[in-house]
Amino acid sequence: MADGFAPAFAFTPEVDAATASVWSKVKTRISPLEWRAHAPLIEAINRLKREKNAVVLAHNYMTPEIFHGVGDYVGDSLGLAREAARSDARVIVQAGVHFMAETSKVLAPDKTVLIPDLRAGCSLASSITGADVRLIKQRYPGVPVVTYVNTTAEVKAETDICCTSANAVQVVEAAAAAWGTDRVILIPDEFLARNVARQTDVKIIAWRGRCEVHERFTAEDILELKAAYPEAQVLAHPECPTEVIAVSDFTGSTAAMSDFVATRRPKQVVLITECSMADNVAGDAPETEFVRPCNLCPHMKRITLQNIYDCLLNDRYEVRVDPAMAERARLAVQRMIDLPPPARPARYDLVKARHHVDVELI
Ligand code: 13P
Ligand code: SF4
């Protein structure tokens, strides 16, 4: 190396000291070799955030070096939306997928919202358009439209109230009561709609959208796991098929799964969801053993430390939403946020639920 030349991202003793607390959380998930590449980027990102008055909102499906290393707020879709609304930073970097960045922009129109890779999409968000929702409303006049946050701002703008997997039952019941109806339209996740329908007396009209990560789990997978690991608690996300939920021990949003592990401290657990979830929860639960069948979300995995750094350095890629559309979408998201927060993230107790309730599929 030439005299005086210092590589931009060297693993120096200063970097080592500045990132030691992160290393202690990720060292069972990341090799020392990888860590020497990650740590300087973590230190550089955290420095850039301070210089630019920026925060990183990181979803539970981010890789552990992002989640534990640079996330100022980490959580599920509901938690990230709440945080976007209350953050006083000038810049929000969304370490998640595009619909989450749009939700942040809708809730914080005066802030600069950046996403490190514009291609980070979602199979649920791309399953439905604003025009589809307008047609649905024509077909079911007077029936409130509850939309999962995993949708574009264009779809949210056609919506009465949003929900996430952490509050879908609560929102469906609140919408039915407010509109004085016994049925609601819950779009676009077919499986979430089926799982909610089994928890409420409200009749559900559903769309055929699927999460490409969760739809691939089967009841046979779960039964095989239970046979191989009889002591393990099986926790499944409500975007999974209903047959999967029926044979799991617990179902809830990503925040509800974290909460389950943090409060019940199971000896052995299986998280039926995206792969990074177990890596991240494991960082705070060293005494729990994680059995690891999981599916990767290719959209979430587009976000890396390197593109978070590039995004902050170059102020790219900015997410914009047409102001008139944002105004209408904000009403739907704000109605959800204004509902009293549940004491604990919701769970879907489908093992005890009524199995014969079904949805009307559009
Ligand atoms: P939650 O974090 O709201 O449970 O959502 C999971 C998900 O698939 C987000 O894309
Ligand atoms: Fe969309 Fe599923 Fe990926 Fe979440 S995990 S971003 S719902 S495809």
| Ligand 2 touching residue 159 (CB < 6 A) | no
**Is there a domain that residue 197 lies in?**
yes
60 plus 195 within the same structural domain: no
Nearest residue by C-alpha to atom 1 in ligand 2: 122
**Is there a domain that residue 2 lies in?**
no
CATH number at residue 330: 3.40.50.10800
| Ligand 1 touching residue 253 (CB < 6 A) | yes
Compute, in angstroms, the gap from residue 148 CA to the centroid of ligand 2: 12
Residue 354: what pLDDT? 57
208 plus 262 within the same structural domain: no
**Is there a domain that residue 7 lies in?**
no
Please enumerate in sequence order all residues whose Cβ is within 8 A of that of 356, keeping only pairs 6 or more positions apart, or say none: none
Compute, in angstroms, the gap from residue 71 CA to the centroid of ligand 1: 16
| Ligand 2 touching residue 213 (CB < 6 A) | yes
Nearest residue by C-alpha to atom 10 in ligand 1: 150
| Pocket perturbation via mutation, ligand 1, pick of 237, 272, 281 by most ligand atoms within 8 A of CB | 237
Q: Which residues pair with 252 in a beta bridge?
A: 347
Domain extent at residue 198: 125-213+323-361
Compute, in angstroms, the gap from residue 165 CA to the centroid of ligand 1: 7
| Pocket perturbation via mutation, ligand 2, pick of 164, 192, 214, 295 by most ligand atoms within 8 A of CB | 214
Residue 3: what pLDDT? 47
Whole-number Å distance between alpha carbons of 20 and 39? 9
Q: Which H or E element spans position 155?
A: helix 153-156
267 plus 135 within the same structural domain: no
Compute, in angstroms, the gap from residue 186 CA to the centroid of ligand 2: 17
Distance of CA 164 to the CA centre of its chain: 9
Provide the sign of the torsion angle of the four alpha carbons 154, 155, 161, 162, taken in this order. Answer: negative
Residue 341: what pLDDT? 72
**Is there a domain that residue 279 lies in?**
yes
With H, G, I as helix, E, B as strand and everything else as coil, classify residue 291. strand
Amino acid at 151: T
138 plus 196 within the same structural domain: yes
Tokens of 272: 């039926």
| Pocket perturbation via mutation, ligand 2, pick of 211, 217, 275 by most ligand atoms within 8 A of CB | 211
| Ligand 2 touching residue 163 (CB < 6 A) | no
Q: How many domains does the structure of the chain reveal? A: 3
Compute, in angstroms, the gap from residue 273 CA to the centroid of ligand 1: 9
**Is there a domain that residue 179 lies in?**
yes
| Pocket perturbation via mutation, ligand 2, pick of 61, 78, 117, 122 by most ligand atoms within 8 A of CB | 122
Residue 351: what pLDDT? 47
111 plus 198 within the same structural domain: no
Residue 47: what pLDDT? 96
Compute, in angstroms, the gap from residue 29 CA to the centroid of ligand 2: 22
Stated pTM of the model: 0.93
**Is there a domain that residue 42 lies in?**
yes
Nearest residue by C-alpha to atom 3 in ligand 1: 77
Residue 226: what pLDDT? 95
- Let me know: does 274 contact 213? Beta carbons within 8 Å: yes
31 plus 115 within the same structural domain: yes
| Ligand 1 touching residue 258 (CB < 6 A) | no
| Pocket perturbation via mutation, ligand 2, pick of 62, 63, 117, 150 by most ligand atoms within 8 A of CB | 150
332 plus 201 within the same structural domain: yes
Q: Which H or E element spans position 47?
A: helix 32-52
**Is there a domain that residue 5 lies in?**
no
Compute, in angstroms, the gap from residue 122 CA to the centroid of ligand 2: 5
207 plus 350 within the same structural domain: yes
Residue 201: what pLDDT? 92
Residue 343: what pLDDT? 62
What tens-digit pLDDT sequence spans the chain (362 residues)?
Answer: 444 455 578 999 999 999 999 999 999 889 999 999 999 999 999 999 999 999 999 999 999 999 999 999 999 887 898 899 899 999 999 999 999 999 999 999 999 999 999 999 999 999 999 999 999 999 999 999 999 999 999 999 999 999 999 899 999 999 999 999 999 999 999 999 999 999 999 999 999 999 999 999 999 999 999 999 999 999 999 999 999 999 999 999 998 999 999 999 999 999 999 999 999 999 889 899 999 888 999 999 999 999 999 999 999 999 999 999 999 999 999 999 898 876 665 666 554 555 567 899 88
- Let me know: does 52 contact 90? Beta carbons within 8 Å: yes
Residue 345: what pLDDT? 57
Whole-number Å distance between alpha carbons of 117 and 96? 9
| Ligand 2 touching residue 199 (CB < 6 A) | no
17 plus 116 within the same structural domain: yes
109 plus 243 within the same structural domain: no
With H, G, I as helix, E, B as strand and everything else as coil, classify residue 272. strand
Compute, in angstroms, the gap from residue 295 CA to the centroid of ligand 2: 11
144 plus 107 within the same structural domain: no
Compute, in angstroms, the gap from residue 211 CA to the centroid of ligand 2: 5
**Is there a domain that residue 6 lies in?**
no
| Ligand 2 touching residue 275 (CB < 6 A) | no
263 plus 353 within the same structural domain: no
- Let me know: does 266 contact 179? Beta carbons within 8 Å: no
